[in-house]
A and B are shown apart, each in its own frame.
Chain A
Amino acid sequence: MDTALIIEKFVLVVILFLISLGIAAYSTYFERKLAAWIQDRVGPDRAGPFGILQPIADGVKMFLKEDFTPQNSDKWLFIIGPGIAMFTALITSAIIPWGPDITLFGRTMSLQVTDFNVGVLYIFGVVSIGVYGIMIGGWASNNKYSLFGAIRASSQMISYELAMGISLITIVLMSGSLSLTDIVNKQHGMDWNIWYQPISFLVFFICSLAETNRAPFDLPECESELIGGYHTEYSSMKLGLFLFSEYVAMFVSSALMAILFFGGYNFPGMDAFSGNLLALLCVVAFFAKIFFFIFVIMWIRWTIPRFRFDQLMHLGWKTLIPIAIINMLITGLVIAFNQGWF
């Protein structure tokens, strides 16, 4: 192991960390703006020009609030709950390929922290442990609403993980690899997976809304029934971490959707460029796709009302999973047919 590699990766990790947090912070601002626009309002515009300093003001407010711990709560678990939520939201970005290799200071650097050869499974692993933050936080609060939120979150996540996994298998079947880099490189130019797997994308999109607890699947935190759900008892920056982790998760799942179905950093006409310029354009294209998905997710939140819990379970188990399984079987059959098995 050479020192340069360690420095390179360290710098990349720090940049990714800052970008994730920055985008999450500005997602809160953009979400409020978008909600306002949809409701014919202006939105936050007091802090700085067009209110662009609003996330900083919110952050300062979060830090200055009283950090309250309920008396009969499990103190230790109450503290680590938001930490786990934030941690799991952040670590997914380690395997996302942000762009093709660049050449800097005479070194070829990969814009990916690690090319994990079971990247798709790694995503699943992170998603499946992501529920712990909410569950622990909700349980440790010792509040019945929080407990309801935690239970809803866990059952929702377990239900939608299945459909998500099965819809992802089609992508793995088509790419023949579990590595995200291979999946992206397979979709060179305009040859995106969405043209072959629209149903799979739909299932994956709905499931990732459910996994990130975004509306219309925000039952774990629904304000009207559960008064905030799992974060009812949280205040100050612990609450901030919970809310923040939701936006980080949204950013990461948008990135995953772009990678798995919309070609990641590929864009039409990319063969005309090469070298660092290509890498730069690729990163720009990738982030454009990510922002588009973040926009769509927010747009959905401010359009569709929340599901009832039985509707949620019905959709997950009786609709999405059969669709995903049939889609997977058809994909498998077509691939087998193309390879001349029949």
Chain B
Amino acid sequence: MTYELISYILGGLTIGSALMVILSRHPIRSVMYLVITFFFISGHMVLMNAQFLAIVNVIVYAGAIMVLFLFVLMLLNLNKESEPKMSIASQVAAIISGGIFLLVLLAALSESILPPMPQQMSKSIADIQNEGLVQNLGQLLFSKYIVPFEVSSILFLAAMVGSVLLAKREKQNTEEL
């Protein structure tokens, strides 16, 4: 009962702050609402006993990526005058494409109702409590999901090499000039 109540409140708060991200006029406030949204999502993860994911969500998204977002936003000139004016046609186009995307999402998600996890019923309480812990996650990552894990690490490596290359190439150009 308390569990459901908490999760409903959290869900409402999550959706509310997520709406505020797009509704607030000021970019910095949007970023702050996004950070708050990440915290609420982490709260959901804690409720589902996935503490590792909750904390990593906070570290990576709230702690690192959003800090970089804020960092860039602070360096921008955020005057009302410098805001690009959007034509009505592009606004309409944005609304239509967003609406279509929402429709597709709804259509896709309406079919995929989560099964009520029947296999967990047979497990003991201790097993359920340890479901989202680091050890189990590590075991899964290095056995069942080893291929996606390694592929994503190669992806990160490629991104790192690419960014280093981009930085280097600029230097060469200036030397040639």
* Most chain A CB atoms below 10 A, which of B28, B52, B58, B67: B67
**Interface size range of chain A in the complex:** 20 to 34
A173 within 8 A of B: no
Interface stretch (choices B9-17, B69-77, B87-95, B154-162): B69-77
**Nearest chain B residue, comparing its CB with the CB of A140:** B28
**A151 and B75 contacting across the interface, CB-CB below 8 Å:** yes
Contact across chains for A139 and B28 when beta carbons are under 8 A apart: yes
The answer to whether B51 has its CB under 8 Å from any CB of chain A is yes
A154 & B70 in contact (Cβ 8 Å cutoff): yes
What are the residues of chain B within 8 A of A124 when measuring CB–CB? 55, 59, 63
**Residues 7-48 (chain B) with a chain A CB within 8 angstroms:** 26, 28-29, 32, 35
Bound state CA distance, A132 and B71, in angstroms?
Answer: 11
Of A102-110, A113-121, A260-268, the stretch lying at the interface with chain B is A113-121
Q: Which residue of the partner chain, among B62, B64, B134, contacts A178 with CB atoms under 8 Å?
A: B134
Are A125 and B51 in contact (CB-based, < 8 A)? Answer: no
Confirm or deny: B102 has a beta carbon within 8 angstroms of a beta carbon on chain A: no
Interface: B146 (CB within 8 A): no
Q: From the candidates B35, B68, B75, B134, name the one contacting A118 in the complex (CB within 8 A).
A: B134
Partner of B64, one of A116, A121, A128, A139: A128
Report if A121-B67 is in contact (Cβ < 8 Å); known contacts: A135-B74, A139-B28: no
A154-B28 in contact (CB<8A): no
Q: Determine if A77 is an interface residue (Cβ-Cβ < 8 Å).
A: yes
The verdict on A69 contacting chain B, using a C-beta distance below 8 Å, is no
Question: Within 8 Å CB of A139, what residues of B?
Answer: 28, 70, 74
Residues of chain B within 8 A of A131, CB atoms compared: 63, 67
What is the interface of chain B mostly: helix, strand, loop, or mixed?
Answer: helix
Taking a contact as CB atoms under 8 Å apart, the answer to whether A158 and B75 are in contact is: no
| B52 CB contacts on chain A under 8 angstroms | 118, 121
Would you call A132 and B134 a contact (CB within 8 A)? no
Tell me if B51 and A118 are in contact (CB < 8 A).
yes
Most buried by A among B26, B56, B59, B68: B59
Residue of B nearest to A124 (CB): B59
Q: Which residues of A contact B59 (CB under 8 A)?
A: 121, 124-125, 128
Taking a contact as CB atoms under 8 Å apart, the answer to whether A74 and B28 are in contact is: yes
In the complex, whether B128 has a CB less than 8 A from a CB of chain A is no
Asked whether any CB of chain B lies closer than 8 Å to the CB of A147, the reply is yes
Task: Tell me if B133 counts as interface (CB < 8 A to partner A).
Answer: yes
- Mark each residue of chain A from 149 to 180: 1 if its CB lies under 8 Å from any CB of chain B, else 0: 01100110110010000000000000000100
A128 with B62: CB separation less than 8 A: yes
Which of A122, A125, A155 has the most chain B CB atoms inside 10 A of its CB? A125
Contact residue among A129, A154, A157 (Cβ-Cβ distance under 8 Å from B62):
A129
Bound CA–CA A107/B16 (angstroms)? 43
Q: List 8 extra interface pairs beyond A128-B64, A129-B58, CB under 8 A.
A: A74-B26, A77-B28, A118-B55, A125-B55, A127-B63, A136-B32, A157-B67, A158-B64
